[in-house]
Amino acid sequence: MTTAHVFIAASLDGFIARADGDIEWLLQRDDPAEDHGYAAFIADKDMIVMGRGCYEKVLTFGAWPYEQPVLVLSRQLAGTAVPDALEGKLRFSGLAPKAVMEELARQGVRRVYLDGGQLLQSFLREGLVADMVITTVPVLIGAGRPLFGPLAGDIDLRLVSSLGFASGLVQSTYRVVV
């Protein structure tokens, strides 16, 4: 079985980016001297799964930041060619969340890093998220792209750990109770 794991930061009022995708407010408040655990988190993931919005944001970074293979879920990109420079590192898929996870399980992929708010929301609604590391940034930005969204019913969580950093970030790890 493939399990999906989330590692994401949001403002205290629950936004992962401004409406235009800007995350400068987040980067400003990052302290590179603090270990927020991303390296340890990503080390045991076999694949990174993201939506188109997230993929297009990563393309603007210049250098491709991932060692693991990346799967971009997008009906729009599915069937199109990946950029030459990313051949072998990247794949597009038009499958729905459940079908993707079943396909990955057949391929022997065990643990995926699920990135981006829209994808998190659709995987949560399908009961496909195992756990989430949520880093809360000490700022209110008032509007933007929300981390969470509407649900068919409550989703119960179990707090695994929580840690406040000197920078003001608070990082909490939750297991999704099924």
Residues lying near a copy of itself in the complex (CB under 8 A) are found at 12-14, 25, 124, 134, 136, 138-143, 147-159, 161-165, 168-170, 172, 174
Q: Which of 50/137 has CB closer to a copy of itself? A: 137
Q: Which of 74/171 has CB closer to a copy of itself? A: 171
Q: Which of 130/139 has CB closer to a copy of itself? A: 139
Distance, CA of 32 to CA of 5 (rounded, Å): 23
Contacts made by residues 101-104, CB under 8 angstroms, sequence distance 24+ = 101/2, 101/4, 101/128, 104/2, 104/47, 104/71
Name the residue among 95, 102, 89 with its Cα closest to residue 63. 89
Closest contact distance (angstroms) between CB of 45 and a copy of itself is 22
Place of tokens 């990135």: 115
Closest contact distance (angstroms) between CB of 137 and a copy of itself is 9
Distance, CA of 125 to CA of 30 (rounded, Å): 30
Place of tokens 């950093």: 165
Closest contact distance (angstroms) between CB of 175 and a copy of itself is 9
Q: Which of 13/102 has CB closer to a copy of itself? A: 13
Closest contact distance (angstroms) between CB of 102 and a copy of itself is 24
Closest contact distance (angstroms) between CB of 138 and a copy of itself is 4
Phi-psi domain of 8 (left: phi exceeds 0; alpha: psi -120 through 50; beta: other) = beta
Distance, CA of 110 to CA of 65 (rounded, Å): 21
Q: Which of 96/140 has CB closer to a copy of itself? A: 140
